[in-house]
């Protein structure tokens, strides 16, 4: 018995030390790329990394969905090869990094207003109305201001139950950021953040928690990540965008939100986009990497693998996967800017990106979504 235990312990150690295989000259063949961060794009990364690993023998990509804050911390500590975040780094965070970090947008999402109201299958809302519902000022569904936006439907005399996230969340951040833009009162009373001090409603954990309560409660309304709501096919409200149109949260409408002038570093907020087709509560999610990959014990090969992975994510193939699981693909302009940023990644000054010119020009959102 004792021998058996000893043997299994020993073999465990041997196996666990042997995760980097080497060829006859002792060069590393197997590389592992590790990342950590946002939970919002986790389902997408999960699939796109798996596909990448299938096409590239000997490479493993590990991603820990520990939250955007944790991803930024891990990148700062250099315990991962890339971080992932739903919010771009602010000036303070940039200053706290050990070297220059670049932002690569990987896909887009939105925040949708899901509701349950018998007999109402199309609801129109504005940002100001959402703000007042969550501030506890509009308490009933037949409120005259709601009726004014929805002249064709008869709204019931029923209490509104607003539902929000009980855990800190990027979804809450994007939701509150949008409301800050469209409602000065919200900006003054609630502000923006991953967690807020709420005035009305009840809370539940995660998208599933909020969706569960909304689905099961007549008269409830809740904000949910679009990728989750679209997969569940929840009834969601049309939002009035800046151009005055009522827009459904479709992948096309979310992608359209990025059809504005994007900054060269891709640190862009696309809330309340001016594009006439845009869904107003839309957002990017980013992967963060160090611009100069020569740090710690990283080899040039490590850097090349990382760049190749980033190129795969923004390739038509990678973006198609995003659309299949209800993340909005990046439009042309964003892809171009991403490509330029990736080409700037260097290893001690020498560019890392291979075959920049042979990279097929992106087909854009239309092609990805129409396939």
The yes or no reply on residue 195 touching other proteins (CB under 8 A) is yes
Q: Least distance (Å) from other proteins to the CB of residue 92?
A: 11
Q: Least distance (Å) from other proteins to the CB of residue 41?
A: 16
| Relative orientation angle of helices 300-313 and 316-324, to the nearest 10 degrees | 50
Q: Cβ distance 255 to 52 under 8 Å?
A: no
**Which of positions 248-277 make contact with other proteins (CB under 8 A)?**
none
Within 244-329, strands assigned E span 246-247, 282-290
Binding mask 202-231 for other proteins (x = CB under 8 A): xxxx---x--xx--xx-xx-----------
Which of the stretches 12-20, 90-98, 166-174, 256-264 binds other proteins when contact is defined by CB under 8 A? Answer: 166-174
**Which of positions 295-334 make contact with other proteins (CB under 8 A)?**
none
Residue among 48 and 213 whose Cβ is closer to other proteins = 213
Q: How far is CA 35 from CA 67, 78, 109, 227, 270, in A?
A: 11, 10, 20, 21, 25
Q: Least distance (Å) from other proteins to the CB of residue 176?
A: 9
Residue 164 gets the label, from left (phi > 0), alpha (psi -120 to 50) or beta, of beta
Which of the stretches 7-15, 52-60, 194-202, 224-232 binds other proteins when contact is defined by CB under 8 A? Answer: 194-202
**Which of positions 28-87 make contact with other proteins (CB under 8 A)?**
67, 69
The yes or no reply on residue 156 touching other proteins (CB under 8 A) is no
Instruction: Give percent helix, percent strand, percent coil of the chain, each to the nearest 5.
Output: 40, 20, 40
For residue 28, the cross-strand partners are 22
Q: Cβ distance 65 to 39 under 8 Å?
A: yes
Q: Least distance (Å) from other proteins to the CB of residue 209?
A: 8
DSSP strand pairing (346-347 vs 350-351)? antiparallel
Helix, coil or strand: residue 306: helix
Residue among 181 and 213 whose Cβ is closer to other proteins = 213
Among 93, 137, 198, 245, binds other proteins (CB under 8 A): 198
Tokens of 310: 């980033």
Binders of other proteins: how many residues, by CB under 8 A?
A: 27
Residue among 162 and 364 whose Cβ is closer to other proteins = 162
Residue among 167 and 185 whose Cβ is closer to other proteins = 167
Which of the stretches 189-197, 229-237, 288-296, 349-357 binds other proteins when contact is defined by CB under 8 A? Answer: 189-197
Which of the stretches 77-85, 159-167, 274-282, 325-333 binds other proteins when contact is defined by CB under 8 A? Answer: 159-167
Q: Using the Cα atoms of residue 303, residue 306, residue 312 and residue 314 in order, give the sign of their dihedral.
A: negative
Q: How far is CA 258 from CA 84, 118, 310, in A?
A: 19, 34, 20
Residue among 198 and 246 whose Cβ is closer to other proteins = 198
Other beta carbons within 10 angstroms of residue 137's beta carbon come to 14
Residue among 162 and 329 whose Cβ is closer to other proteins = 162
Residue among 138 and 353 whose Cβ is closer to other proteins = 138
Q: Cβ distance 60 to 53 under 8 Å?
A: yes
Q: Which residues bind other proteins (CB under 8 A)?
A: 67, 69, 159, 161, 166-169, 191, 193-198, 201-205, 209, 212-213, 216-217, 219-220
């Amino acid at each position: 018995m004792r021998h058996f235990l000893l043997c299994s312990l020993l073999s465990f150690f041997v196996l666990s030390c042997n995760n980097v295989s080497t060829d006859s000259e002792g060069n590393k063949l197997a590389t592992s790329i590790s990342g950590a961060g946002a939970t919002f794009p986790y389902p997408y990364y999960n699939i796109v990394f798996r596909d990448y690993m299938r096409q590239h023998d000997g490479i493993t990509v590990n991603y820990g969905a520990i939250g955007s804050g944790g991803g930024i911390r891990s990148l700062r500590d250099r315990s991962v090869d890339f971080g992932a975040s739903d919010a771009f780094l602010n000036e303070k965070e940039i200053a706290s990094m050990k070297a220059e970090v670049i932002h690569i947008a990987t896909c887009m999402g939105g925040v949708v207003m899901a509701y349950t109201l018998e007999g109402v299958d199309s609801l129109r809302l504005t940002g100001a109305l959402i703000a007042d519902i969550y501030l506890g000022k509009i308490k009933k569904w037949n409120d005259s201001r709601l009726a004014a936006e929805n002249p064709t439907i008869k709204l019931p005399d029923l209490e509104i139950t607003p539902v929000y996230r009980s855990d800190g969340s990027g979804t809450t951040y994007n939701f509150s950021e949008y409301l800050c833009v469209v409602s000065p009162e919200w900006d003054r009373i609630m502000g923006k953040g991953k967690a807020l001090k709420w005035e009305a409603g009840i809370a539940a954990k995660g998208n599933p928690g909020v969706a569960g309560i909304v689905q099961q409660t007549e008269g409830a309304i809740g904000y949910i990540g679009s990728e989750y709501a679209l997969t569940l096919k929840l009834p969601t409200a049309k939002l009035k965008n800046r151009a005055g149109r009522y827009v459904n949260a479709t992948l096309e409408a979310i992608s359209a939100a990025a059809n504005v002038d994007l900054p060269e570093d891709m640190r862009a907020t696309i809330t309340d986009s001016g594009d006439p087709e845009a869904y107003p509560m839309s957002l990017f999610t980013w992967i963060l990497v160090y611009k100069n990959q020569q740090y710690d014990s990283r080899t040039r090969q490590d850097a090349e693998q990382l760049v190749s992975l980033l190129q795969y994510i923004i390739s038509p193939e990678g973006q198609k996967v995003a659309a299949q699981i209800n993340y909005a693909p990046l439009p042309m302009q964003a892809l171009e800017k991403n490509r330029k940023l990736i080409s700037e990644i260097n290893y001690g000054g020498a560019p890392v990106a291979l075959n920049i010119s042979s990279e097929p020009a992106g087909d854009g959102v239309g092609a990805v979504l129409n396939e």
